[in-house]
Chains A and B, each alone.
Chain A
Amino acid sequence: MSTLSLTSAFTLLLKRDLTLAYRRRSEMVNPLLFFVLVTAMFPLGIGNDPKLIQAVGPGVVWVAALLAALLSLDAMFRADYEDGSLEQFMLSAHPVSILVLAKVLAHWMVTGLPLFIAAPLLAMMLNIPNEAIPTLMLTLVLGTPVLSLIGSVGVALTVGLRRGGVILSLLVLPLFVPVLIFATDAVNSAGAGMPTPAQFYILTAMLVGSLVLAPPATAASLRISLS
């Protein structure tokens, strides 16, 4: 199989998933709506102490992003499993891990990217200092793809189960925790005027690591779920 047709299979699948998401727009906005609502409700619940809101801000944004990602994960392979498209992927003439990568990228573009775009607005609402906002954006752009990648392994393992939702959360949430810790720490440090390269190196390492390891793991998990 030539690299040319592999690239075209990748773009074809990416386009397919984006088209499908576009045709089901109402489902697509769910994670974003969840993200915005949770972060908007927090200041109302905490009260009008700007210092306190500022202190919990980065954590709130990241926990909401994490839960929004979890909420949207199950949809990554569920529909394809139910209508038989997943079998067709597994029987494709291309390496399954590359196709998985296309699906994860599409998932991130539909769920992670909107969070990234909405984040500065929510950061201002949570009184996060202006100098920390670029840092928050950067942690989101490095961290949310990791969530989609790690999540894809969990979804692939649970897609064959009738009620995979609970197991999925138990499976992937612990793996999300390092991302949460380093991302919020980076934003807090930036807000306090401290340097943050260390956290970024670790987040980048997580992204690279999951980019390399997650697709083959997901492909293997899908094979187990289907057999």
Chain B
Amino acid sequence: MTTSQSDTARTAQFEARGLECIRDDRMLFENLSFKVNPGEALVLEGRNGSGKTSLLRILCGIRLPESGDLCWDGVDIFKLGPEFREHIAYLGHKDGHKPDLTPLENLRIAQGLGKAKSGIILEEALDQVGLYGFEDVPTRNMSAGQQRRLAIARLLVTDAKLWILDEPFTSLDRKGIEQMERLFENHLEQGGMAAMTTHHRVGFRDDVKLVRINLSER
């Protein structure tokens, strides 16, 4: 496990201490600790079933760890509740939008549920993920890749600092993957953070600080 190079004395923005996860009587991981600071990305690797998705769900607070603490700015995330949730955006296996609504309507809801980013125009977010011109097409009529792009556009419309991404590149074409990687880099450059799993080799620029954790080799 490679730890972050950052100054360990300072409280990290997002920190996990001694996480443990048991699923169906199987220990997925134990004593897992890491720190993520602004501008850094946590990349989870490991075999299928090694607990990557479980860990991401624990990080955003949907799932409870068997033991261990998660802190945002030094405060336990369960104590913070909604105050923590306004800082995160989660992209799971499921895209999380309604097929009966248009992309624009879906984004408006995503924006209303989170802390809206000031000055962002929803059409602009769609344009950034390459969905310009699809504002009013029912989402169900879009391809799987386009739906994934819409899910990524959701990340852009709120003020979330920490993006938690579970296989964000599923069903994207090669050009789409590159495009999304630039978006993620941009987010990190502006002081954002990310925690992600991917089977795809992460093609970020060399100066992006990655915290890599391999769950199968622990």
Contacts and interface: CB of A to CB of B under 8 A. Distances in A.
Interface of B: 57, 60-64, 82, 85-86, 88-90, 92-101, 105, 108-110, 112-116
Chain A residues touching B, range: 20 to 34
A83 B139 CA distance: 12
Contacts of A94: 82, 113
A88 B62 contact: no
A44 interface: no
B105 A83 contact: no
Nearest to A16: B109
A1 B82 contact: yes
Interface in A61-109: 79, 82-85, 87-95, 99
A185 to B, nearest CB: 41
Majority secondary structure of chain B interface residues (helix, strand, loop or mixed): loop
Contacts of B114: 92-93
Contacts of A1: 82, 86, 115
Interface in A142-166: none
Contact of A8 (B85, B94, B105, B112): B112
Contacts of A85: 96-98
Contacts of A20: 98, 100-101
A95 B99 contact: no
A131 B110 CA distance: 49
A19 interface: yes
Given A12-B108, A12-B109, A87-B90, A93 B95 contact: no
A91 B101 contact: no
Nearest to A8: B112
A12 B108 CA distance: 8
A3 interface: no
A94 B115 CA distance: 9
Given A84-B93, A88-B110, A91-B90, A16 B98 contact: yes
Nearest to B96: A84
A98 to B, nearest CB: 10
A37 to B, nearest CB: 27
A19 B109 CA distance: 12
Nearest to A86: B96
Contacts of A83: 94-99
A226 interface: yes
30 contacts: A5-B115, A5-B116, A9-B112, A12-B109, A12-B112, A13-B109, A16-B101, A16-B105, A19-B100, A19-B105, A20-B98, A20-B101, A24-B100, A83-B94, A83-B96, A83-B97, A84-B97, A85-B96, A87-B62, A87-B90, A87-B94, A88-B90, A91-B85, A92-B82, A93-B82, A93-B114, A94-B113, A223-B62, A227-B62, A227-B64
B98 A91 contact: no
Nearest to A93: B86
Given A16-B98, A20-B98, A88 B63 contact: no
